[in-house]
Amino acid sequence: MMHDEQFGTPQRYKTLVGAVVLIFAILMARLYQLQLLYHGELDKKSEENSVRALIKEPIRGYIYDRNGKLVVDVGPSYTVMIVPAEFDRRNMPLLSRLLNMTPATIEERMARARAYSPYLPSRLKRDITFRQLAALEEHLPLLSGISYQVESKRSYPTKAYASHLLGYSREISDAQLAQVGEYYRQGDVIGTAGLEARYEQFLRGEKGFEYVSVNSIGQIIGSFEDGKRDVISKEGFDLILGMDVELQAFAESLMTVNNYSGAIVAMDPSNGSLLAMVSKPDFDPAIMSGVTPAELWARLNSDPSKPLFNRAALTRYPPGSTFKMVLAAAALEEGIIDETYRIHCTGGFRYGNRVWKDLHVHGSTNVVEAIQRSCNVFFYQLIFKVGFEKWSEYGRRFGFGSPTGIDTGEETAGIMPSPAYYDARYGKGKWTLGYTVSLSIGQGEVGVSPLQMARYVAALANGGILHQPHAVMYVNNKRTGKIEELPHAQKPVGLSPKTIELIREGMRRVVQEPGGTASLARVKGIQSAGKTGTAENPHGEDHAWYVGFAPFENPTIAVVVMLENSGFGGAKAAPMAGLIIEKYHYGQLIRALPRPIPAARDSVKTITHVSSR
Amino acid sequence: MFEYLKEYFDLQGLILCLVLVAMGLVSVYSATYDAGAAETFQKQLIWAGAGMATLLLAAFFPMKTLQRIAFPSYVFMLGVLLVVLVVGRTISGSTSWFGVGGLGVQPSEFAKVATVLALAAFLSRTTTSLSNVRHLIIALGIVLVPMILVLAQPDLGTSIVFFIMLLPILYWGGASNFVLAAILSPIIVAAGALFGTFAFLFTLLLAAVMLYLTRENRFAAAVAFSISLVIGLSVQTVYDRLPVYQQKRIATFLNPDLDPRGAGYNVLQSKVAIGSGGVFGKGYLQGTQTQLNFIPEQWTDFIFCVPGEEFGFIGASVVLVCFTALLLHGLKIAHLSKNKFASAASVGIVGVFGTHMLINIGMSMGILPVIGIPLPFLSYGGSALIANLAMVGLLMNFYANRKEH
């Protein structure tokens, strides 16, 4: 075999030398690029690495009512902090006793703190009592790695709870933490319900940072550049509500005294701001500030009376006769009837083989009288003239079937039936116009929230403008130093002055004229208007409704009262609305609280099912 | 006296490697400073001592005997690699260690030396010709067998070193351009396939041109091209079967911004460390990246950041220059050696050092993927340090005997 001529030739030596030099050149070029060309940028990154930011908590914004009364305040809260690396486990029994925490809980919290940083302080326990603080302070010299800091928590200086409106803030949960990201960390407080949640971005303020240099193992060795780069925390913005906190407290007490469950919504009809929003049963929001004991939280959640459930925004009951104005508006506006149109109420209405009865025989009745006396027969026959589709369209124009856009949290869209809805529900051709007879008087599938009703009655009060209901009117922007008005949507329902005038006249007579169903809502010295209603409840006692506004000529308040399982609207809901209007109009009650008055009956839902269905 | 010393003692090689070892000790001390450090540094110091002893032993070992025992020791090392697969200690997912009390021995480091010597011994036989296909296959086999055993541990980094160091030694041994092209083609095409369809087609074209220009006969060229094509096409399948951490490393290399807190973290922090060093560095034990432990396991694979950060461009250049000088010195010895075994082994040793240097420093500076292999002389680790110093000793040996046939 031939000897290999190519072994280690000078040519191959040169090539290998060239390869080595090439590799050297590439690495040197990269080194030059990193250390000379990119030096500035990479040096900055490295500096960021050796500096730590300590978080300085901001003060959460305050909440005021429309008259400048402080509704939600901020008070001191003491939080125990731990530096995991400095804590001596031999002190565990002492710490456990002082803070009334089990060693296992402390260990678990400490492990989380260690994951953030072993050398920086993390929260161990929030909102300790003053007695615990005193005891801790005494032992502090013994407890290395333990300190406390003053933080803020909510306090409520007024008599009103307004729990469903104000909402509450709580320590951020792991799930929330994963969702909201960056800004928050373990132990932070975040608005969780109501205004506290919706306006979290305004209320929370901005965290401040104190920059410290850390040594090789992350221990703080001093301030960084003498604190020149520190950022002072920024206070949260204040909210200024449409609420009249006196009225709110009064409305709550009316519900409490009578032990009602239900909702009251009072609204300024000129702009949709909420004067009061009550949902009963409720809870004291103060128990949510600081640390809520787990068993209390569990009890609130499992209470069968559902105190956490906002009945003003989330219930979806039939509106009963309070809905009759929708049909009246449709008939008048479409020119189907006018005030001269009369029917003869014989106390019953037949369609097909079914008969719907009225409680009274109203005789010759026009649209104004039909509202005044709540004549069912008038509306039973009217829906056939107006048509299901038109009725449904006017209901939607008044905002039914869609959310109101309230800023206090979750709400229901309600149900506004239409032919399409029935087609979807029962199947095309499987329902008859007979189904719509009940709808004409606000029974059946139609479902509304008290908030939607407030928006509706406010529109009737103000001449036909549908306002977006809102709790917050202004924000005190601490960055600009200005009080800023928050924008709100509004749109006309699209009714002529004549239509509005007739409906309003009917509603005035409901309260002010003999034969009206809500004379109990009268307020001395002012003209008031309204409508009673009763929501059929197949599961129990009916729900009572009253919607109204006052004064008649220039309304300043629209009120909706909804009482669950309390029977007829005229009897209990109307007098409460009267009291609320009186309180708001005069600033106080000008009469002694009314004696119990025997029930006066609302129009009735006596429905006789003749069919075999 | 000095003339005699210069004639028979490779002072240049020794000094270069001593500078690198010293730089390594200084860097390991800094990287482990205050974090239970003393122990790591002291161990490395002991290994450096053991390494120097090994170096001297290798330098004065009779060259002819070395050539004779090259094959037996290679076979012995293959046996050791097999045994370690069965009874070895598993550290970070790779079964590549023998536990000896508190110390660990990594046989793959010594297998590199044995493989180089065995291949050199094979190439230096007067009957061997790399234009003979059978001989070529034997030469490839000498490298591929230990490479596959290392890959089975699995230690991707070290097996890549085995493969790449094969190229210079084969080239030196007289392999034709076509053979080198045929070995290189599948690697280039496989790498291209990782980057996507366009890169795949481009590298395929490149391979085709390379093979065409160097072709000796059309059939062989076609076979080589087909192999490249098949390997390139199967890259995706192989990629899917790789352990997740290696997929991540490759993906992160292709796009480092993908995962700045995860697999890309080391590279990012390493670049920050080197870049923030600037011209003069932050001063010894003053590097914030190093001292605050921003680079995990810095004292092993990312040791180059320490001179980079603390001694700056000047310190890092010293390391690069010393390495390059050592490589060129090794090539010079290969060129001067009259003995073919010594000549081929020298190139093999240069190949081992060069591959480690290129991949390790390239990875620290973010121009090559993160392949976990140490930087010779600098990285913490006893087996590697001893094996590397042994190879320097061999270079010194070959220098002293350069005029022997």
Structure tokens belonging to residue B250: 């490759």
The minimum CA-CA distance between A41 and chain B, rounded to whole Å, is 8
Q: In this structure, is the dihedral angle defined by the CA atoms of residues B109, B115, B117 and B118, taken in order, positive or negative?
A: positive
Which chain B residues contact residue A35 at CB under 8 A? 274-275, 277-279, 308, 312-313, 316
Residues of A in contact with B312 (CB under 8 A): 35
Token pair 């925004």 in the structure block, residue: A313
Chain B environment of A218 (Cβ under 8 Å): 292
- Chain A to chain B, count of Cβ pairs less than 8 Å apart? 145
Angle separating helix axes B312-336 and B340-364, nearest 10 degrees: 160
What is the predicted pLDDT for the residue at A276? 96
Q: How far apart are CA B313 and CA A42, in angstroms?
A: 14
In single-letter form, the type of residue at position B150 comes to V
Q: For position B353, what pLDDT does the model report?
A: 96
- The answer to whether B129 contacts A27, with C-beta atoms less than 8 Å apart, is no
pLDDT at residue number A43: 84
3-state secondary structure of A214: strand
Alpha carbon distance, N-terminus to C-terminus of chain A: 109
Nearest to B173 among A7, A10, A43 (CB): A7
Query: Across the interface, do A1 and B129 touch by the CB < 8 Å criterion?
Result: yes
Q: Do A49 and B358 touch (CB under 8 A)?
A: no
Return the pLDDT at A292.
Answer: 75
Nearest-CA distance B174 → chain A (Å): 4
Residue A468: strand, helix, or coil: coil
The residues, ordered by sequence, that sit 6+ positions from A189 with a Cβ below 8 Å of its Cβ are A60, A153, A169, A170, A171, A172
Partner-chain contact A1 B312, CB within 8 Å: no
| Alpha carbons B306 and B290: distance in angstroms, whole number | 7
CA distance B119 to chain A (A): 14
Which tens digits make up the pLDDT trace of B192-219?
887 778 888 899 999 999 898 888 888 8
| SS3 category, A350 | strand
Provide CB contacts within 8 A for A356, sequence distance 6+. Answer: A348, A349, A350, A376, A377, A380, A437, A438, A606, A607, A608
3-state SS assignment for residue A394: helix
**H-assigned helices in A181-302:** 194-198, 200-203, 245-258, 294-302
Contact residues, chain B, for A46 at CB < 8 Å: 272-273, 275-276, 288-289, 309
A106 neighbors A124 (Cβ within 8 angstroms):
yes
Mean pLDDT by 10 residues, chain A (613 residues): 67 94 95 91 76 81 94 90 86 92 91 79 87 89 85 88 92 82 79 93 89 62 72 90 94 89 96 95 85 80 90 94 96 94 88 79 91 93 93 96 94 94 89 87 93 97 95 92 92 95 96 89 93 88 94 96 84 91 90 47 29 29
Nearest to A39 among B275, B317, B361 (CB): B275
The Cα A325–Cα B271 span in angstroms is 74
**Which residue in B has a C-alpha nearest to residue A215's C-alpha?**
B292
Query: Which residues 110-139 in chain B show a CB within 8 A of chain A?
Result: 123, 126-132
Chain A stretch 6-25, residues whose beta carbon is closer than 8 A to a beta carbon of chain B: 6-8, 10, 12-13, 15-17, 19-21, 23-24
CA distance A120 to chain B (A): 15
Neighbour count for residue A241 (Cβ, 10 Å): 27
Measured in angstroms, the CA of A143 and the nearest CA of chain B are apart by: 26
From the list A8, A34, A216, which residue is nearest B292 (CB)? A216
Report which of A411, A454, A459, A451 is spatially closest to residue A559, judged by C-alpha positions: A454
Q: Given this model, what pLDDT does residue A120 score? A: 77
A281 cis-preceded (ω within 30 degrees of 0): yes
Chain A residues close to B362, C-beta within 8 Å: 26-27, 30
Q: In what order do the strands lie in the sheet with B89-91?
A: B89-91, B94-100, B103-105
The pLDDT score that the predictor gives to residue A432 is: 85
Smallest CA–CA separation between A448 and chain B, in Å?
Answer: 50
Contact A38 B367 (CB under 8 A): no
CB A262 within 8 A of CB A164: no
Nearest to B348 by CA among B208, B171, B162, B165: B165
| Substitution target from A34, A38, A221 for chain B, most B beta carbons within 10 A | A34
Residue with token string 């406390």 = A148
- Separation CA A165–CA A162 (nearest Å): 5
Spatial distance between the Cα atoms of B78 and A266, rounded to a whole number of angstroms: 89
Q: Mutate one of B271, B288, B322 to test the A interface: name it (highest A CB count within 10 A).
A: B288
pLDDT tens readout for residues B297-310: 778 888 999 999 99
Residue in B closest to A36 by C-alpha: B278
Query: Could you tell me if A2 lies within 8 Å of chain B, comparing CB atoms?
Result: yes
Which chain A residues contact residue B289 at CB under 8 A? Answer: 46, 49
CB contact under 8 Å between A49 and B288, yes or no, is yes
At B100 the pLDDT is 60
Interface residue of A3, A13, A27 to substitute, partner B, most B CBs within 10 Å: A27
SS3 content of chain A, % helix, strand, coil (to 5): 40, 25, 40
Beta-carbon separation of B320 and A35 below 8 A: no
Task: Tell me which residue in B331, B335, B367 faces A30 most closely, judged by beta carbons.
Answer: B367
* Number of other residues whose CB lies within 10 A of the CB of residue B388: 30
Using left for φ > 0, alpha for ψ between -120 and 50, and beta otherwise, residue A597 falls in: beta
Distance between CA B113 and CA B70 in Å, rounded? 10
Interface of B with A in 336-395 (CB under 8 A): 340, 343-344, 347, 350, 354, 357-358, 361-362, 365, 367
In percent, the amount of chain B with pLDDT more than 70 equals 90
In angstroms, what separates the C-alpha of B60 from chain A's closest C-alpha?
25
B328 touches chain A (CB under 8 A): yes
Calculate the CA dihedral of residues B147, B153, B157, B161 and round it to 10 degrees: -20
Listed as own residue / partner, the contacts of B146-153 with beta carbons closer than 8 Å and 24 or more positions apart are B146/B77, B146/B78, B146/B81, B146/B108, B146/B111, B146/B114, B146/B115, B149/B78, B149/B81, B149/B82, B149/B85, B149/B111, B150/B81, B150/B96, B150/B108, B150/B111, B152/B85, B153/B84, B153/B85, B153/B88, B153/B94, B153/B95, B153/B96, B153/B108
Does the CB of B271 have a partner CB in chain A at under 8 Å?
A: yes
Q: What is the pLDDT of residue B78?
A: 94
pLDDT at residue B93 in the model = 62
Q: Is A322 within 8 Å of A533 (Cβ atoms)? A: yes
CB contact under 8 A, A8 and B131: no
> pLDDT under 70 in chain B at which residues?
1, 34-37, 91-95, 99-103, 249-265, 292-294, 296
